[in-house]
Structure 1
Amino acid sequence: MGKIHSKFPNYYDNHVLNDDEKYNLHLRHHLVREIFKGNFSSPVHNILTGWSARVLHVNSILGTWLAEMSANYPGCTYIGVNSISSDEDGKPFDVEFIKSDIQNEGLPYDDDRFDFIVIRFCAWEYSESEWKDIIKELIRCLKPGGWVEITDFGMDFQNPGPKLINFLNNLTNIKCTKDKNINVVNKYEEFLMETNEMENIQKQTEYLPIGEHGEKLGETALQFAHDNINMYLPRYAKFMGMQLKDIPCIADTLCEEANENNTMVPITRVFAQKIL
C-alpha cells in the first residue's frame, strides 16, 4: 500500500500512556463489549472454534480484546498491530504484538493471510480517502471467505442537548479536522462495497446510555465520557480557541447536560466477508 498521510497525527504516536489513559482504554473496551453482548458481531464462531484460525487486530493499543479472544477461543493465532510498542507483560502465549504503521507502511503480511481482521476506534484518525486505502489493505491480508469488522463511535447522538450539539459542530469545523469526517462510521459500508471484493456487508448499531438513566452501565459511561473529555480535548483546545484551564468545567457541563437529557451515543460495527 502506498503511503498516505493524515494532517493530524494519531494521538498515540510517540506517546507513552499513563495509568489513567490505560484505564480509560480498558473501560472503553468493556463498555463496548457490554453494549454488544460480545467481542464481535461477525459470524465467525465456527471459524474460531476450528483449528488454527489467524486473527488480526489493527490498532491494538493494550491488547485487551486479543487477550479475551485468546481466552474464549484458544487454539487460534492472535496478532495485534499498532504504530506504538505494546506492553507485552502477561500476554497470552498465543498473542503476538507487532509495531507497524498501517497508514504509512501498510501491513507486514502476505496476501490472504488472516481469517478475521478487526480494526476499532480509529474514526477520527484518517480522512475518507485514507480510510479507503486502509480498508483495501485490510482486505488484501484477508483470506477469501474471511471476515473484516470495523467498530467505532458515531456522532448521531440520541437526545443531545444544545451544548453538546454546539460542541460537536465546533469540533467538526476546526482546522485540524476539516479533512476528516468525524462521523465516517456511516461511510464504512460504502467503502467496503466500493472495493468489489466484499459481500454480506452488514451493520449493527447499539446505543450506549450516558448517565443515570442507563443505571450502572450509564453511570460508568458517564464517568468514561467525563474522563475522555478531560484527557483528549487538550489535543484540540488550541484549534477550538479554548484555554486548557477551562476544560474541566467544559467536561462537567457537557456531562451534566447528557445526564439530564438521557443522551445516548451510537456505537457501530460494520462487518463483511471477502468473496471466495
Structure 2
Amino acid sequence: MQNSTDKNVTFIGCDIYQTLPFPDNEFDYVFSRNKTDLFSKNNFQGFLFEIIRVLKPEGWLEIVHSLRTDDYTGQASARLNAAITSWHKERGIDFDIIRNLEDYFKMSGKLEFISSQIIKIPIGGDNFGEFSYEVALYYIKLMKEILVPFMGISSEEYDQLSKENEDEMKKKRGELYGRQKRVFARKK
C-alpha cells in the first residue's frame, strides 16, 4: 500500500484478474481507464462483475477507453497499429468490448441510467493536444518490448520504425485526432 501526499487518497495494488481486495458495496464511484484491452470477453465479464460488486447501490461506474482507429498517418503508423491489433487478437483480446460496452452493462442486470459519449481528442497542436501527442509516442515506446519479438524485427529496426512514425505524426501535427469512449452507469 502506498499513500499519496493527499491524506484522502491511498493507492492499493492488486491483480485485476482476481477478486478485488474490498468488501461488497464499498465505493461510491469506480473508474477504469484503458483496461478493456487487457481482457478476453470472458475475463472482462468477470472484471465487470467484480467492479460492480465493490460499488455501492446507487454508486456510479465510469469506464473510459481509447478507440482503435484506421485513420493512420503513414506507412510506419499503419504497420505499428497492425502489429498492435494482431498481438491483441492472438491473445483473445477483443476490441469490440469497448464498442459494445453498453450491452455488457445491460447484460449485468445490475446497472441503470446507462449512457455513453465519444470524445474527440486532438493529437498534437497546443495544450492538451501536445500532451496527447506525447502520450501516443510514449505508448509506442512502451510496446517495444512486446512488439520486437512479435514482429520478428530487431530492436534497432523497431527504433527506426518508431522514429518514422513520429516523423509522420509531426507532419500532421494539429490535424490528428484520437477518440475515447466513456460509458457511465449507476448501480441499482
What's the TM-score once normalised by structure 2's chain length? Answer: 0.85
Match of 1:237 in 2: 148
Match of 1:91 in 2: 5
Match of 1:107 in 2: 20
2:64 and 2:181 in contact (8 A); partners too: yes
Q: Does residue 72 of structure 2 align to residue 160 of structure 1?
A: yes
Percent of counterpart pairs with the same letter?
A: 24
Match of 2:94 in 1: 181
Structure 1, residues 83-142: CA drift from partner, whole Å, max 9, x if none?
xx6x43x521122232322312x1122222211111122132211211111001111111
4+ long deviations beyond 4 Å: none
Structure 1, residues 194-246: CA drift from partner, whole Å, max 9, x if none?
101111111122122223xx323323322332232123322222012221122
Instruction: Give RMSD over aligned pairs.
Output: 2.2
2:103, 2:23 → 1: CA distance?
25
Given candidates 37, 42, 46, the residue that maps to 1:133 is 46
SS at match of 1:144: strand
What's the TM-score once normalised by structure 1's chain length? Answer: 0.60
Residues 200/259 of structure 1: CA separation in 2 closer, same or farther (3 Å cut): farther
Residues 175/210 of structure 1: CA separation in 2 closer, same or farther (3 Å cut): closer
Match of 1:119 in 2: 32
Deviates more, 1:196-205 or 1:169-178: 169-178
Q: Does residue 109 of structure 2 align to residue 196 of structure 1?
A: yes
Q: How many matched pairs?
A: 185
2:83 and 2:147 in contact (8 A); partners too: no
Higher relative contact order (CA 8 A, sep 6+): 2
Given candidates 211, 215, 231, the residue that maps to 2:126 is 215
Given candidates 85, 109, 125, the residue that maps to 1:172 is 85
Query: Displacement of 1:161 after TM fit?
Result: 2.9
Residue type matched to 1:192 in 2?
Answer: F
Unaligned runs of 5+ in 2: none
2:88 and 2:94 in contact (8 A); partners too: no
